Amino acid sequence: MKIIFLGAPGAGKGTQAEIVSEKLSIPTISTGAIIREAIKAKTEMGLSAQVAIEKGELVSDEIVIGIIKDRIVQDDCKNGFILDGFPRTISQAEALEKMGVTIDKVVNIYVSDEDIVKRMSGRRVCSSCGASYHTVFKPTKDNKTCDKCNAELTIRKDDAPDVVKSRLVVYHEQTAPLEAFYDKKGILVTVEGQEELEDTTKLTLKALDIK
Ligand code: AP5
């Protein structure tokens, strides 16, 4: 199965993608996570993407399309994959079609802008493995270190309130048109993001017909 998770920054795409990935035993490909790793490793691609990501702007289509092209041909993608955060523009969606990828379902997680801003202030990420938590909705055992690898929790630079606002503007201008793009193809399902993580998971699994 090939699935896209669509939704505003912080809507819960990564959280739900991780659960579906485990259920279906297919990998999640997060362009955001791949770019953050490249920034950490100071690769050429990472350095050229860093300014855009920290300002809350989109990284160039050329870079992200290149990331996806290289990743989906790897062995673990043979039985399908989940795209989290790609495509984010119509031209990225068209590039995906040109790669010959047929998407089965696009799950659009809807959360209001107001709730997004509240939610992002509580997100914490592991400084080592990148696992994502929330101080209220998904706390770690001590709210200081990662439950998976014990490394320190940090706040993403692009989770600063001003940057979150810019990311929302970019989302509405450049990414939201993808809802109509995939709706026309009859593969869009919209899930209303709930206050509780588990409730959003139930709706997501139902939308994907996963038991
Ligand atoms: P990326 O990392 O993809 O960021 P994003 O899309 O803005 O999404 P987030 O990771 O912030 O949030 P999410 O929806 O995954 O939510 P999460 O599950 O973490 O991209 C970052 C940047 O990279 C972009 O701004 C851009 O610069 C660049 N980039 C990436 N892809 C690109 C592309 N294709 N083209 C161009 N540029 C690209 O949840 C958020 C928080 O809420 C967590 O703390 C979580 O625990 C909590 N939470 C989740 N669900 C719930 C719930 N139901 N109730 C309460 N809390 C919840």
Looking at the fold, whether 6 and 31 belong to one and the same domain comes out as yes
Looking at the fold, whether 82 and 179 belong to one and the same domain comes out as yes
What is the predicted pLDDT for the residue at 211?
Answer: 86
Q: What residues contact residue 93 under an 8 Å CB cut-off, 6+ apart?
A: 87, 178, 181, 182
Looking at the fold, whether 139 and 62 belong to one and the same domain comes out as no
Q: What residues contact residue 80 under an 8 Å CB cut-off, 6+ apart?
A: 1, 2, 3, 24, 26, 104
Domain that holds residue 182: 2-111+162-207
Distance CA 128, CA 147 (A): 12
Looking at the fold, whether 61 and 139 belong to one and the same domain comes out as no
Among 167, 184, 185, 211, the one annotated catalytic: 167
Looking at the fold, whether 85 and 182 belong to one and the same domain comes out as yes
| Domain-located, residue 116 | no
For residue 28, the domain's CATH number is 3.40.50.300
**Ligand 1 site, CB within 6 A:** 7, 9-15, 30-32, 35, 52-53, 56-59, 64, 85-88, 92, 119, 123, 132-134, 137-138, 158, 167, 193-195, 197, 200
Looking at the fold, whether 132 and 151 belong to one and the same domain comes out as yes
Span 61-101, pLDDT tens digits: 999 999 999 999 999 999 999 999 999 999 999 999 999 99
Could you tell me the two tokens for 211? 């038991």
Q: 68 near 96, Cβ under 8 Å?
A: yes
What is the predicted pLDDT for the residue at 124?
Answer: 96
Q: Tell how far the Cα of 59 is from the centroid of ligand 1, in angstroms.
A: 14
Q: Tell how far the Cα of 12 is from the centroid of ligand 1, in angstroms.
A: 6
Looking at the fold, whether 103 and 178 belong to one and the same domain comes out as yes
pTM across the whole model:
0.94
Helix axes 197-207, 13-24, angle to 10 degrees: 50
Span 118-165, pLDDT tens digits: 899 999 999 999 999 999 999 999 999 999 999 999 999 999 999 999
Count up the domains in the chain and report the number: 2
